[in-house]
Amino acid sequence: MLKRHARAACTALAAAGLLLAGTGGATADPAPPAPSAATTLRTADAPPELLAAMQRDLGLTPAQAKARLVHEAEAGATAARLRARLGAAFAGAWVEGADAGTLTVATTRAADAPAIRAAGARAAVVTRTLADLDTARAALDRAATAATPVRYVDPRSNTLVVEEAEAGAAAGLLAATGTDPALVTVVRTAEAPRPLYDLRGGDAYYMNGSGRCSVGFPVTKGTTNGFATAGHCGRAGTTTSGFNQVAQGSFQASVFPGSDMAWVAANAQWTATPYVKGSGGANVQVTGSVLQPVGASVCRSGSTTGWHCGTIQQHNTSVTYPEGTISGVTRTTVCAEPGDSGGSYISGSQAQGVTSGGSGNCSSGGTTFFQPLNPILSAYGLTLKVSGSDPGPGPGDPEPGGTWKAGTVYATGATVTYGGAGYRCLQGHQAQTGWEPPNVPALWQRI
């Protein structure tokens, strides 16, 4: 489906070029084609270790693993453009198929279906908007207990799913909040999500010389090196030592529950690198922080169980742990065990988030939740350490005016100006040199 969209786009560009050439006068050199989403997210640079883990855990062939990363990147960009176009009628999007080659976009307006299909996606006409279901979920969050530990919007069924650990708990929650039962699908669960305190994500670190968690993603703040991790691993002032038990740094800020985010500032002996520890200890490069769509592949690095992959099930999920509720986390099929907390979730080369908690294990399988990274970067003014970024303008090259700024975390729908034009953010990310709005149509739409 996405390949047809690409051909249509190329045809449209070619037609536009013919019209311009027929206006007479001097013929300008044609503008270079805009880079695809897959080019922007550098899917071709996926390391062999990541591809091998995807093949193992998702049952893919080598060709399917490579194709999946390309399709997921293009699907994310297409879904983002359609979300901006559909506005309040948007009801979610997801990818399917072994190679994620099918994108479905849901809307509450039947009249939107032709535009969705023209963009290369399948159209699903449903009765409830994503915003309506998110509003209902937020109401449940305020009254939820550990008896209804997980709540999320499922775009595929166009319902709000409530997992209950005790018979009747979901019905009681709906009654207490006045939520229409027709909006809800109840799922019985025997699992009890918990923070994975003794975890690692990338490399291990130790808190106050005792408990162990995992480094999420290396970051900088000004000249200070450090890393993002899970808030339940420590509070502001908690000291840390590294995987080698050498003094490392201390927690600067931490939030848990509510969210599950924190960052650690390292001392001068430690330097942030743009890598996640992959299978067999190999370095997996990080090139950005574009959150991938529901159904996309995602891999996790942890100090207890190492490198495992799965798929993204739902974004903006709420989970009630014994310690309290956290909201805005992403639900995945990746397994994890104690010791993996705080560790890295990465899709292709795009940083996704840090391990929060979950249920099950890596022998029988399980469900885990990650705290998305972009809110951590934004909350604490951190800059993700990335590899291979464009060096930017050379000496004497003018910087176009505008409000866009590298290092800023932009949410979907944010608007900026650059070079005299306005742009709307299609996919949330932290801006970096080389990702200026005109250069990355997968991330920015001119308005």
Six token digits for residue 353? 């988030």
- Identity of the amino acid at 281: G
What is d(CA 38, CA 266) in angstroms, rounded to the nearest whole number? 34
Among candidate residues 36, 297, 301, 341, the one labeled active-site is: 341
Among candidate residues 260, 297, 327, 344, the one labeled active-site is: 260
Among candidate residues 5, 232, 308, 315, the one labeled active-site is: 232
Coil, helix or strand at residue 446: strand
232 catalytic residue (yes or no): yes
What is d(CA 151, CA 183) in angstroms, rounded to the nearest whole number? 12
359 catalytic residue (yes or no): no
Coil, helix or strand at residue 160: strand
- Going by C-alpha positions, the residue among 444, 441, 438, 435 that lies closest to residue 388 is 435
Cα dist from 338 to 57, 392, 396, whole Å: 20, 42, 53
- Going by C-alpha positions, the residue among 155, 165, 180, 183 that lies closest to residue 91 is 155
* Max Cα–Cα distance, the chain, nearest Å: 76
Q: Which residue has the tokens 């979907």?
A: 412
- Identity of the amino acid at 425: C
341 catalytic residue (yes or no): yes
Burial of 39 (0-12, 13-18, 19+ CB in 10 A): middle
Catalytic residues: 232, 260, 341
